[in-house]
Amino acid sequence: SPTVGVLALQGNVREHLAALAAAGATAVPVRRAAELDAVDGIVLPGGESTTMSKLLDAFELLDPLRARLRGGLPAYGSCAGMILLADEILDGRPDQHQLGGLDVVVRRNAFGRQVDSFETDLEFGGLAGGPVHAVFIRAPWVEKTGGDVEVLASVPPVDGAGEAVGRPVAVRQGPLLATSFHPELTGDRRVHELFVGMVRAA
Ligand code: GLN
């Protein structure tokens, strides 16, 4: 089975490790460059992207991670992880680092104060077995996507006429996957299975 790392500086590390193991991967925490060298794919968990950016610096992981991403390492970013993967962010802090690679513009804390956390069921492109229950916690959304980016889910999913509207909250570009929400917090393993499948295919 593929070895999939979880960046273990902050955030829902244990939940991602458990979800990846359930999805058929050998799941390992990554805190050092040597551990990063040993993985076939990596999950960037939710947390706080500005804090994560500082910790990436402190643990000297920023450049090694950028280098592996440039080399085609499959990566899945959830929430703060999506922010880190984005080529461009809005409402970021001027000193916060991007890993980049995902050709999107992402807005931090996009849903605003009133609805800063919520749950909803989403149609998720390519996943069999019905909608995904999505937990959003001070989540970003995707405001702009490049030509190679596939939108897998949006909020709200459709308008009254059944047209897809709203903001992308799950996207894929080649070996990169990102969601605004936290599938590691529900028992549904399909998003992690999708990612483990991407790692296997890479
Ligand atoms: N609001 C956080 C940030 O900007 C992300 C929240 C999350 O990961 N749950 O980094």
Mean pLDDT of the 106-124 span: 86
Tokens of 165: 């509207």
pLDDT surpassing 60 at residue 158: no
Residue ranges of the domains in the chain? Answer: 3-201
Name the amino acid, one letter, at 14: R
Name the amino acid, one letter, at 170: A
- Which entry of 16, 79, 192, 193 is annotated as an active-site residue? 79
pLDDT score recorded for residue 55: 97
Q: How many CA atoms lie within 13 A of 142 on its CB side?
A: 32
Distance 35 CA to ligand 1 centre (A): 25
Residue nearest to atom 1 of ligand 1 (CA): 138
CA of residue 98 relative to chain centroid, distance: 13
Structural element, H or E, at residue 85: helix 80-85
Which atom of ligand 1 is least distant from the CA of 81? 8
pLDDT score recorded for residue 156: 74
pLDDT digits (tens, 9 = 90+) for 117-141: 889 999 999 999 999 999 999 999 9
pLDDT digits (tens, 9 = 90+) for 136-151: 999 999 999 999 999 9
In this structure, the residues whose C-beta lies within 6 A of any atom of ligand 1 are: 46-49, 79-80, 83, 108-109, 137-138
**What's the CATH class of domain 3-201?**
alpha beta
Q: Which residues does 34 contact at the CB level (< 8 Å), separation at least 6?
A: none
Residues 99 and 133: beta-carbon distance below 8 Å: no
Strand partners, 76: 43, 177
Cα→Cα distances 102→35, 84, 142, 162, 173, Å: 23, 9, 11, 28, 7
DSSP letters of 11-25? SSHHHHHHHHHHTT-
pTM for the predicted model, two decimal places: 0.94
Mean pLDDT of the 160-169 span: 72
